[in-house]
Amino acid sequence: MSRKTRTRLANLFFRDIPIVLFLIFMLFPFYWILNTSLKDSIDVISIPIQYWPSHPTFENFQGLISLGFDRYFLNSLFVATFTTIIIMVLSLLGGYAMSRYRFKGRTVVYIMLLATQMLPAVVLMIPLFQTMQTLGLIDNLWSLVIVCSCTNLAYCMLMMMGYYNSVPVSLEEAAQVDGCSLMGGIIRILIPTMAPAIVATGAYAFINAWNVYVYAVAFINQKKMYTLPLGLNAFQGEFGTDYGHLAAGCVVALIPVLVIFAFLQKRMAGGATAGAVKG
């Protein structure tokens, strides 16, 4: 066997075949949910199983509106949007402080941030439920905005810190010499330079807020305040075998996050772990 065929074979077995198998495993569930959502109510429970919808139809998607999914969608959008805004502002400021200053208590703050990552939602859920009761925010989407902001803040800030670290200090120093204030320097110089990274942080926050479930179960009881995960799970409980609508609901809930994820994935690159480990 010549050397060339040997490297070719090695590439085939150690690179190409694993990649193809991985891709099939990772993507097939998406294909399947889309396939199911396009089947009509007869095809969805026909044997043999159809790997391709024989009568593709959008009727499942049309049916979602009368099932209240438009409301769930808007609720999720509300929570995710406001969470993203709060997190972006706070982590832009906090990340700057962590990256650019060596101050007393920096390590404490750092450990505190990491510690918040270890607090499980099921543990926080109980006392936070009481807090929200006191604040009168039960069945109010702001309760979810506040809690999602808190739980994702640490990760986003560490992500942002990593991005600041990768921008040379000389950039802002030059701006400050030219008479820019601190905020002016951040807004005019740093933010444009880091725009893609900032978008990635926002995307991360958006996806997590969009997907929040445990807190939503704890704080939201009224059906009209349901977010998509709550609505989907409730629908599954009620109409468990209505696979077509269930799948269509999943597809609709997936589209925004998958679009946003396309922006995120290139930039995320390990996020806090990379930022944390490399400092």
Partner 1 sequence: MSSIASKPKITHRRALRKQLTPYMLLAPVIIFICCFMFWPIINVFILSMQNHVVTKPKQWGYIGFANYVKIFTKDTVFTKTIWTTLRWVLISVVFQCVLGFWLAYVLNKKFKGRGIARALALTPWAVAGVMVGIIWKLIMGETYGVFNDLLKKLGIIQQNVSWFANAQSATFSIILANVWRGIPFFTLSYLAALSSIPDDLYESAKIDGASAPRTLFSITIPMIRDTIILTTLLRSIWTFNAVDLIISMTDGGPNRGTTTLALYIMTTFKGKMDYGYASALSVIATLIMMVLAFIYIKWGKLGKEGIN
Applying CB under 8 A, which part among 66-74, 153-161, 166-174, 194-202 lies near partner 1? 153-161
Segment 235 to 274, residues that bind partner 1, using CB under 8 A = 236, 243, 246-247, 250, 253-254, 257-258, 260-262, 264-266, 268-271, 273-274
Among 77, 121, 167, 180, binds partner 1 (CB under 8 A): 121
Beta-carbon contacts of 83 under 8 Å, excluding residues fewer than 6 positions away, are 144, 145, 148, 149, 152, 205, 206, 208, 209
Q: How far apart are CA 231 and CA 191, in angstroms?
A: 37
The DSSP line for 153-167 is HHHHHHHHHHHHHTS
CB of 97 to partner 1, least distance (A): 4
Segment 183 to 222, residues that bind partner 1, using CB under 8 A = 207, 210-211, 213-214, 217-218
133-137: long-range contacts, CB 8 A cutoff, minimum separation 24: 137/219
CB 261, CB 106: distance < 8 Å: no
152: contact with partner 1 by CB under 8 A: no
- Using a 10 angstrom Cβ sphere, with 0-12 exposed, 13-18 middle and 19 or more buried, the burial of residue 160 is buried
Looking at beta carbons only, is 23 or 174 nearer to partner 1? Answer: 23
Segment 47 to 76, residues that bind partner 1, using CB under 8 A = 47-49, 51
Among 80, 137, 144, 147, binds partner 1 (CB under 8 A): 147
Among 82, 229, 245, 248, binds partner 1 (CB under 8 A): 229
The DSSP line for 164-192 is HHTS-THHHHHHHHTT--HHHHIIIIIHH
Looking at beta carbons only, is 62 or 181 nearer to partner 1? Answer: 181
Among 57, 67, 85, 110, binds partner 1 (CB under 8 A): 110
CB 60, CB 248: distance < 8 Å: yes
Residue 114 identity: L
Looking at beta carbons only, is 165 or 193 nearer to partner 1? Answer: 165
Looking at beta carbons only, is 28 or 58 nearer to partner 1? Answer: 28
Among 131, 140, 176, 193, binds partner 1 (CB under 8 A): 131
Among 9, 65, 74, 122, binds partner 1 (CB under 8 A): 122
CB of 174 to partner 1, least distance (A): 18
Q: Which string of x and - marks every residue 79-108 that binds partner 1 (by CB under 8 A)?
A: -----------xx-xx-xxx-xx-x--xx-
Among 52, 127, 192, 222, binds partner 1 (CB under 8 A): 127
CB of 277 to partner 1, least distance (A): 5
Instruction: To the nearest 10°, report the CA torsion of 129, 133, 134, 137.
Output: 100
Q: How far apart are CA 120 and CA 110, in angstroms?
A: 18
Applying CB under 8 A, which part among 62-70, 128-136, 166-174, 189-197 lies near partner 1? 128-136
Q: Identify which of 256, 197, 204, 253 has the alpha carbon closest to the alpha carbon of residue 67.
A: 253
Beta-carbon contacts of 140 under 8 Å, excluding residues fewer than 6 positions away, are 132, 219, 225
